[in-house]
Amino acid sequence: MSNELEGKVAFITGAARGQGRAHALKLAGMGADIVAVDVAGPIGDFIPYPAATPDDLAETVRLVEELDRRILAFEADVRDREALMAAADRAVTELGSLDIVVANAGICEPAKWQDITPESWQATIDINLTGVWNTITATAQHMIDAGRGGAIVITSSYAGKKVQPMMIHYTSSKHALVGLTRGFAIELGPHRIRVNSVHPGGVATPMGGGDMMNRIEASTRENPKVNQMGQAFMEPGWMEPEAIADAVAFLVSPAAANITSEHLSIDQGTQYF
């Protein structure tokens, strides 16, 4: 796949660390220039794992530059559509085009339904769902205007195909991304812009750090049967972020030229258990 994306520009949200950084490095390794967007700061006290930092985003920049690719980094919140539009405009002016969008930024809070607050409900929907809408509406017109086609990949989750217990807000947002993927695939299809979603199972990223595992355990304590859900068929039952980046790389590559409105699971079977 090397250099298959030469001359293309990839706009990636949540690119400071975790899967977003892995996507940036994978696509840069295939020749793409990168636009890295990340809030690089805390979202709210309800999030049980540490926030990404400006240093994380700077490290993504350093690693992409090490691959001899150009990168523009923006500290921006995907809830801020104006900021995303400004980033997309600058990317086209400075890097020449926008060909690939990976709408990956997201947050996750394990909580029983009674413990989800209006604040955490709203933030989850605003970031995980509206943030993806903001990302696509800020970038798609540039792709249409250039007339070169394009590829959009939306990061949902196994929680976009089945319930992830004790995460009604997260599960709702990730299910909604399936409909969003289908809707955009239909309307952008005539412009040769393909839109697909990826549905990871457990991925070893900072999202699983801090107090995350304790909070998952605490949220299911009164209903331990649900712990049987979301198990992988394969060992070790979780993946490195590069596994998801490989799937994203496939979906944006010429090998996937006829794939759109697809919902690709990278989950070792988790969606079926």
Ligand X SMILES: NC(=O)c1ccc[n+]([C@@H]2O[C@H](COP(=O)([O-])OP(=O)(O)OC[C@H]3O[C@@H](n4cnc5c(N)ncnc54)[C@H](O)[C@@H]3O)[C@@H](O)[C@H]2O)c1
Residues that bind ligand X (CB under 6 A): 13-14, 16-20, 38-40, 43, 52, 77-79, 104-108, 127, 131, 155, 157, 200, 202-203, 205-208
For the beta carbon of residue 32, count every other beta carbon within 10 angstroms. 29
Nearest distance from C-beta of residue 12 to ligand X, angstroms:
10
Alpha-carbon separation of residue 123 from 116, 172, 184, 201, 241 (angstroms): 11, 13, 23, 22, 24
- Mapping DSSP to helix (H, G, I), strand (E, B) and coil, where does residue 37 land? strand
Rounded distance, CA 131 to CA 103, Å? 8
By annotation, the residues acting in catalysis are 170
Q: Which is nearer to ligand X, 134 or 260 (CB)?
A: 134
- Mapping DSSP to helix (H, G, I), strand (E, B) and coil, where does residue 210 land? coil
DSSP summary character for residue 141: H
Q: Which is nearer to ligand X, 108 or 243 (CB)?
A: 108
Q: Which is nearer to ligand X, 54 or 189 (CB)?
A: 54
Backbone phi, then psi, for 243, in 5-degree steps? -65, -35
Q: Which is nearer to ligand X, 157 or 196 (CB)?
A: 157
Whether the Cβ atoms of residue 194 and residue 256 lie closer than 8 Å to each other: yes
